[in-house]
Amino acid sequence: MSQDVYRLIGPRGNEMELPVHRGTTGPDVIDVARLYGEKGVFTYDPGFVSTGSCKSDITFIDGEEGVLMYRGYPVEQLAAKSSFIEVCYLLLRGSLPTQSELDEFETTIRRHTMLNEGMLNFFKGFRYDAHPMAQLSAVVGSMSAYYHDEMDASNPEHRDIFAHRILAKLPTIAAAAYKLNIGQPFMYPRNDLNYSENLLHMLFAVPAEPYEINEVAAEALDLLFILHADHEQNCSTSTVRMAGSSGANPYSAIAAGISALWGPAHGGANEAVLAMLREIGDVSQISKYIDKAKDKKDPFRLMGFGHRVYKNFDPRATIIREMCYKVLEALDPEDKPLFELALELEQVALKDDYFKEKNLYPNVDFYSGIIYRALGIPRSMFTVMFALGRSVGWVAHWREMISDPHGKIARPRQLYVGEGKRDYVEIGDR
């Protein structure tokens, strides 16, 4: 890191020099950590639009140039050549594995897919229509009860076991949540299948008949998981780091991340895209909804468009767009008109001045929802799919955060705008 400084000039000639840190790549970062101690002021940055919360060597994003790299490898190369499991290894361990390292890692994940039988009882306690994200968050939280004794965060071996359990068991929990919703028996995992194939099996197989895995479907899921695997300090990852920074059990921190991901401005967007397409209903209604999205008095937004970081294009969207066409071609899904509507909406918005001026492009979730739907995955499961991919990013960031010898509990400050001091008024006098 360089020793450049940033000079802050406050009221009454009050000056301060703030160190500037330079990362491997990306914008410089002004270190304001001494500001309150020395000058008694806080910084104010709602939504953390200009704030770096930590140092990290996991993922790099350049929103202007549409760059996304995991451990230095461009996501385009990983999408073309790697598998989700290999990307998991890369994110967790920092480098690409040799063949034997990959085989050993994949075997470990495949051998930990089963849930403790007692955990299945949780699903009996949910209502049949419980949202699968709520089930996922609750059951992952419950892992802190099951695996409490083997979870000493200062023990690297325990941290590895935690990582393997999250990666291996999340698909099983996700599939169990889905089976509860549709009233089908829970399907046990099959360790002879790879990550994405096994997920398809647990979601769609039934004990009464054989289930044939569609290779295009498995390939599409694997690609989506690679593209969702990490995205540096996004809302859910920051939530995991923040919850974990108190020393909380990491399964609980992951459960908190799942809850954060569920919101429609984050992982819930892919679900919201499909809801929006159903609401639009027909190609003839597109211009009406484009106008609604542009109308500041109307809360309607074009879901799946825009991104906090990518202000040029979302590189994940470019990759997944191709897969979207491949899946629609190979699977010829029943509700094809919905997909045609989505593709027409994409074209109209891309040509519209409002969207062009504000750099609003389709994000990864615009296409992911369409692919999931074509695979037969219901809308309520879309964000669950996102969570499966992102789980490795959450774990990698939790490990990085907890291994930092200078780590502190995350505790932001505020700009207080409430009442000044006032005296308590007896209830009869109010």
Residue tagged active-site, from 307, 314, 352, 397: 307
With CA atoms as reference, report the closest residue to 121 among 149, 97, 88, 145: 145
How far is the C-alpha of 385 from the C-alpha of 380, rounded, in Å?
10
Identify any residues that bridge with 74 across adjacent strands, giving them in sequence order. 69
Q: For ligand ACO, give the closer residue by CB, 250 or 389.
A: 389
Q: Which stretch binds ligand ACO (CB under 6 A): 50-58, 140-148, 149-157, 358-366?
A: 358-366
Of 75, 253, 364, 388, the one binding ligand ACO (CB under 6 A) is: 364
Residue 307 annotated among the catalytic residues of the structure: yes
Exposure string (b/e) for 55-67, b if CB count within 10 Å is 16 or more? Answer: ebebbbbbbeebb
What amino acid occupies position 382? Answer: F
Of 135, 365, 387, 398, the one binding ligand ACO (CB under 6 A) is: 365
Who contacts 426 (Cβ-Cβ below 8 Å, separation ≥6)?
Answer: none
Looking up tokens 């923040």 gives 242
Q: Which stretch binds ligand ACO (CB under 6 A): 158-166, 327-335, 357-365, 400-408?
A: 357-365
Q: How far is the CB of 234 from ligand ACO (least distance, A)?
A: 7
Q: Which stretch binds ligand ACO (CB under 6 A): 18-26, 112-120, 180-188, 361-369?
A: 361-369
How many CB atoms are closer than 10 A to CB 97?
A: 17
Residue 266 annotated among the catalytic residues of the structure: yes
Site string for ligand ACO, 280-319 (x = CB under 6 A): -------------x-------xxxxxxxx-----------
Identify any residues that bridge with 362 across adjacent strands, giving them in sequence order. 305
- 393 contacts ligand ACO (rule: CB under 6 A): no
Q: Which residue is nearest to ligand ACO (CB)?
A: 306
How far is the C-alpha of 214 from the C-alpha of 197, rounded, in Å?
8
With CA atoms as reference, report the closest residue to 363 among 320, 329, 323, 393: 320
- 274 contacts ligand ACO (rule: CB under 6 A): no
Is 427 buried (19+), middle (13-18) or exposed (0-12) by CB count in 10 A? exposed
Q: For ligand ACO, give the closer residue by CB, 301 or 326.
A: 301
Who contacts 261 (Cβ-Cβ below 8 Å, separation ≥6)?
Answer: 133, 235, 236, 267, 268, 383, 386, 387, 390
CA 408 → CA 18, 47, 242, 397, 401, distances in Å? 20, 20, 10, 15, 9
Q: For ligand ACO, give the closer residue by CB, 168 or 360.
A: 360
Q: For ligand ACO, give the closer residue by CB, 137 or 383.
A: 383
- 277 contacts ligand ACO (rule: CB under 6 A): no
With CA atoms as reference, report the closest residue to 56 among 226, 253, 241: 241
- 271 contacts ligand ACO (rule: CB under 6 A): no
Residue tagged active-site, from 266, 314, 352, 397: 266
Who contacts 103 (Cβ-Cβ below 8 Å, separation ≥6)?
Answer: none
How far is the C-alpha of 201 from the C-alpha of 137, rounded, in Å?
22
How many CB atoms are closer than 10 A to CB 247?
A: 13
| Residue ranges in 9-48 that form contacts with ligand ACO under rule CB under 6 A | none
Q: How far is the CB of 415 from ligand ACO (least distance, A)?
A: 19
| Residue ranges in 86-115 that form contacts with ligand ACO under rule CB under 6 A | none
Q: How many residues bind ligand ACO (CB under 6 A)?
A: 18
Of 159, 266, 321, 373, the one binding ligand ACO (CB under 6 A) is: 266
Q: Which stretch binds ligand ACO (CB under 6 A): 50-58, 190-198, 260-268, 391-399?
A: 260-268
How far is the C-alpha of 405 from the C-alpha of 354, rounded, in Å?
47
What amino acid occupies position 174? Answer: A
- 75 contacts ligand ACO (rule: CB under 6 A): no
Q: How far is the CB of 364 from ligand ACO (least distance, A)?
A: 6
- 133 contacts ligand ACO (rule: CB under 6 A): no
Active site residues: 266, 307, 365
Residue numbers at the binding site for ligand ACO (CB under 6 A): 265-267, 269, 293, 301-308, 358, 360, 363-365
